[in-house]
């Protein structure tokens, strides 16, 4: 019997009772005030940073198991990004925690005011399988920095990473306030029955709706980090080789298309499309060789359900004959080669859902300006990209395309900029994180107004005389000058 099976048979089920016990325990810790101090937050962020640094090899191995993810991608997009998030949080924590002084108004004169960031309480992070280390721990960094107790529920679809997270967080973190619950729908449902102070969910919109409905029962706020069909508009006045490489890096170099900000489809002009296809083919061959199914530099499809879903998109009659590159598959290894489809109809199956895999349809238009209207016929995506040297087109793109985030002349890299909020809009999500936005996502911004006993204006108290009414109107209309006029009768 394997170690895992042994554990599964001996472990009691994580049900509603266990979930209640867990949240009760964490609530007690939070109520003790332990997680509020700067020292606790900093110590836990240091511990998390050590956890990542000490276990790079295990993290790489777990992701090899779960997705056959190339080590370089794991180190660049999971390990390095987490280290950076910890460093930013540790460097900025004191600033973030410092109350922000703000101006007051004449109505409360004399007074001073500040915004105090306070922890929300006990929060739940539910994460997805595609960047399972990063997507689990990055929100946890925000939750800790903001002084919360936190439960993490990693994805069961990346089981090696899930169990590594449970083991390492158990060893490195303060378990009276930071815990991992492994499991699938039953376990997540048990957790969702509890009252949380925030739920941070990463995954698809169908489950996002389940999470939001569960949260609504307790008026719990949510962050929903969802996905969508992220378009790439390609103009003809560009450095085509660089553009092709950056599209490939964002699509196939980003977990083989299994990334929330992965380029989902391209829009270009009918005239330019063949040139673009040639450039993509040529760079793809340089990166992955003549037989990409054998390449060690590209992740596999996560499981057979997703493999079957992707094959169904290719089997649609509406795209028959449209494959201009790739299309090879090996079901036993869960591999589909990088595949480009040209002149794909907008009503095809592949254009009806987020692809989340190595298939890249190209839509063609007569004039590039039409592409913005085409994009806007679908729900708002998590990201949108444009390659162009045309200043006017860039401005038009920024003003007319609504998406979680935009990048001009590259793909996906905006998520490495911690000064930019990362999150969706509409169907692609609700709320944002990264850098200070992570701290804010897990904080309540408490307004505090300070007053003394001097200057107790009689105007607010009865009897409500005509003079008081005149004064009030003067205040509303003319500020302090108006008040002086009303008081002293000057015109
Ligand atoms: P997934 O299957 O791992 O599910 C996400 C989480 O939801 C898991 O922890 C899972 O256990 C839980 N879950 C699944 N079914 C549930 C149910 N019925 N009730 C309660 N919980 C349930 O991941 P996924 O949804 O396949 O992830 C892919 C999607 O996530 C894509 O749409 C992608 O774009 C999006 N995504 C978004 C981001 C982002 O940062 N915005 C990042 C990664 C992925």
Domain residues of the chain, as ranges?
8-226+435-445, 231-423
Radius of gyration of the chain (CA): 27
pLDDT in the model for residue 476: 82
The band of 6, judged by pLDDT with boundaries at 50, 70 and 90, is very low
Phi, psi of 136 (to 5 degrees): -85, -50
The CATH code belonging to domain 8-226+435-445 is 3.40.605.10
* Confidence check: pLDDT of 140 > 60: yes
Pocket test for ligand 1, best of 14, 81, 127, 128 (most atoms within 8 A of CB): 128
Question: Could you give the CA distance from residue 373 to residue 366 in angstroms, rounded to a whole number?
Answer: 13
Asked if 132 contacts 154 with a C-beta cutoff of 8 angstroms, the reply is: yes
Confidence category of residue 155, pLDDT binned at 50, 70, 90: very high
State pLDDT tens for residues 357-400.
999 999 999 999 999 999 999 999 999 999 999 999 999 999 99
Can you give the pLDDT at residue 106? 83
Transcribe 264-328 into DSSP letters.
EEEEEETTTHHHHHHHHHHHHHHHH-S-GGG-SSS---S-HHHHHHHHHHHH-GGGTT-EEE---
Backbone angles phi, psi at 85, to 5 degrees: -60, -40
Pair 89, 275: CB distance under 8 Å: no
Q: Which residues contact 9 (CB under 8 A, 6 or more apart)?
A: none
Query: Which protein residue has the closest C-alpha to ligand 1 atom 19?
Result: 185
Structure tokens at 254: 């980003």
Which residue owns the Cα nearest ligand 1 atom 14?
185
Q: Which residues of 66-85 are buried (b: 16+ CB within 10 A; e: fewer)?
A: bbbbbbebbbebbbebbbeb
Average pLDDT, the chain: 95
HSE, side-chain direction, 13 A CA sphere, residue 301: 25
* Residue 225 annotated as catalytic: yes
101, β-bridge pairs: 114
The reported pLDDT for the residue numbered 2 is 42
* Segment 57-93, tens digit of pLDDT: 999 999 999 999 999 999 999 999 999 999 999 999 9
The residues, ordered by sequence, that sit 6+ positions from 219 with a Cβ below 8 Å of its Cβ are none
Please choose from 69, 203, 432 the residue to mutate so as to test ligand 1's pocket, defined by most ligand atoms within 8 A of CB.
Answer: 203
Distance CA 485, CA 478 (A): 9
Where residue 491 falls among pLDDT bands split at 50, 70, 90? very low
SS3 22: helix
Ligand 1 atom closest to the CA of 227, numbered from 1: 34
pLDDT over threshold 50, residue 177: yes
Catalytic residue among 73, 78, 86, 260: 260
Query: For 263-289, what is the mean pLDDT?
Result: 98
| Closest residue CA from atom 15 of ligand 1 | 185
- pLDDT recorded at residue 455: 84
Q: How far apart are the first and last CA of the chain?
A: 94
Give, using CA atoms, the residue closest to atom 41 of ligand 1: 225
Instruction: Point out the ligand 1 atom lying closest to the alpha carbon of residue 382.
Output: 41
CA torsion 201→360→239→390, rounded to 10°? -70
Cα(425) to centroid(ligand 1), Å: 17
Q: Which region holds residue 327: left if phi is over 0, alpha if psi is between -120 and 50, else beta?
A: left
Rounded Cα distance, 380 and 230, in Å? 9
Ligand 1: nearest atom to the Cα of 203: 30
**DSSP letter (8 states) at residue 401:** -
Residue 417 clears pLDDT 90, i.e. is over it: yes
Q: Check if the beta carbon of residue 358 is closer than 8 Å to that of residue 288.
A: no
Q: How far is the CA of 154 from the centre of ligand 1 (A)?
A: 10
| Rounded average pLDDT over 129-143 | 98
Atom 40 in ligand 1: residue holding the nearest Cα: 225
Cα 363 to ligand 1 centroid, rounded to whole Å: 28
For the cut 80, the answer to whether the pLDDT of residue 485 exceeds it is no
Q: How far apart are CA 395 and CA 386, in angstroms?
A: 11
**What pLDDT, on the 0 to 100 scale, is given for residue 5?**
47
CA of 205 to the centre of ligand 1 (A): 8
Q: Tokens representing 246? A: 């950056």
350-to-245, 264, 301, 317, 400 alpha-carbon distances in Å:
23, 10, 17, 11, 24
- Residue pair 109/454 in contact (Cβ under 8 Å)? The answer is no
| Distance (Å) from CA 161 to ligand 1 centroid | 15
Which residues lie with the beta carbon below 6 Å from any ligand 1 atom? 126-130, 135, 153, 155-157, 184-185, 188-189, 202-204, 207, 210, 225-227, 260, 354, 356, 382, 424, 429
Q: What is the topology classification, in CATH, of domain 231-423?
A: Aldehyde Dehydrogenase; Chain A, domain 2 (3.40.309)
- Residue 185 tokens read as 């729908």
Task: Tell how far CA 18 is from the center of its chain.
Answer: 29
Task: Write down the catalytic residue from 187, 225, 283, 427.
Answer: 225
> What is the residue with the minimal CA distance to atom 11 of ligand 1?
184
For residue 477, name the pLDDT band (cuts at 50, 70, 90).
confident
Give yes or no: 86 in active site. Answer: no
d(CA 166, CA 188): 15
Asked if residue 4 has pLDDT above 60, the reply is: no
Mean pLDDT, residues 14-28: 97
**Ligand 1 atom 8: the closest Cα is on which residue?**
155
pLDDT in tens, 87-135: 999 999 999 999 999 999 888 889 999 999 999 999 999 999 999 999 9
- List beta partners, residue 123: 150, 198
Structural tokens at position 285: 């061959």
Q: Residue 303 is encoded by which pair of tokens?
A: 């499981």
Confidence of residue 489 (pLDDT cuts 50, 70, 90): low
pTM of the predicted protein model: 0.95
């Amino acid at each position: 019997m394997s170690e895992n099976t042994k554990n599964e048979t001996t472990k009691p089920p994580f049900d509603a009772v266990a979930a209640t016990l867990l949240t009760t325990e964490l609530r007690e810790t939070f109520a003790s005030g332990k997680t509020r101090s700067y020292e606790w937050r900093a110590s836990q962020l240091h511990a998390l940073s050590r956890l990542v640094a000490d276990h790079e090899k295990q993290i790489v191995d777990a992701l090899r198991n779960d997705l056959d993810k190339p080590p370089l991608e794991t180190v660049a997009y999971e390990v390095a990004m987490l280290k950076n998030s910890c460093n930013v949080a540790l460097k900025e924590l004191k600033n973030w925690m410092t109350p922000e002084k703000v101006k007051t108004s004449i109505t409360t004169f004399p007074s001073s005011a500040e915004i105090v960031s306070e922890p929300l309480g006990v929060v739940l992070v539910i994460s997805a399988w595609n960047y399972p280390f990063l997507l689990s721990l990055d929100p946890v960094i925000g939750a800790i920095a903001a002084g919360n107790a936190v439960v993490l529920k990693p994805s069961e679809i990346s089981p090696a990473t899930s169990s590594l997270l449970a083991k390492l967080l158990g060893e490195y973190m303060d378990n009276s306030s930071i815990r991992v619950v492994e499991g699938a729908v039953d376990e997540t449902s048990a957790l969702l029955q509890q009252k949380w102070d925030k739920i941070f969910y990463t995954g698809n919109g169908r489950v996002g709706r389940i999470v939001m409905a569960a949260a609504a029962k307790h008026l719990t706020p949510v962050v929903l980090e969802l996905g969508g069909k992220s378009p790439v508009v390609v103009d003809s006045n560009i450095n085509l080789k660089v553009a092709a490489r950056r599209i490939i890096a964002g699509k196939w170099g980003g977990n083989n298309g299994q990334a929330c900000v992965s380029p989902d489809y391209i829009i270009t002009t009918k005239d330019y499309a063949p040139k673009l296809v040639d450039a993509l083919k040529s760079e793809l061959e340089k990166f992955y060789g003549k037989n990409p199914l054998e390449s060690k530099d590209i992740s596999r499809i996560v499981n057979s359900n997703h493999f079957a879903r992707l094959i169904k998109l290719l089997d649609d009659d509406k795209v028959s004959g449209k494959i201009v590159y790739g299309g090879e598959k090996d079901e036993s290894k869960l591999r589909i080669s990088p595949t480009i489809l040209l002149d794909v109809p907008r009503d095809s199956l592949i254009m009806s859902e987020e692809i989340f895999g190595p298939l890249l349809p190209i839509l063609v238009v007569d004039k590039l300006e039409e592409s913005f209207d085409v994009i806007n016929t679908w729900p708002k995506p998590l990201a949108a990209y444009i390659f162009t040297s045309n200043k006017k087109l860039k401005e038009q793109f920024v003003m007319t395309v609504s998406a979680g985030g935009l990048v001009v002349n590259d793909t996906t890299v905006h998520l490495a900029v911690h000064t930019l909020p990362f999150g969706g809009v509409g169907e692609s999500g609700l709320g944002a994180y990264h850098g200070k936005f992570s701290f804010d996502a897990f904080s309540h911004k408490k307004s505090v107004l300070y007053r003394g006993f001097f200057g107790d204006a009689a105007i607010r108290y009865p009897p409500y005389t005509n003079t008081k009414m005149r004064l009030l109107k003067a205040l509303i209309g003319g500020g302090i000058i108006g008040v002086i006029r009303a008081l002293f009768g000057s015109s």
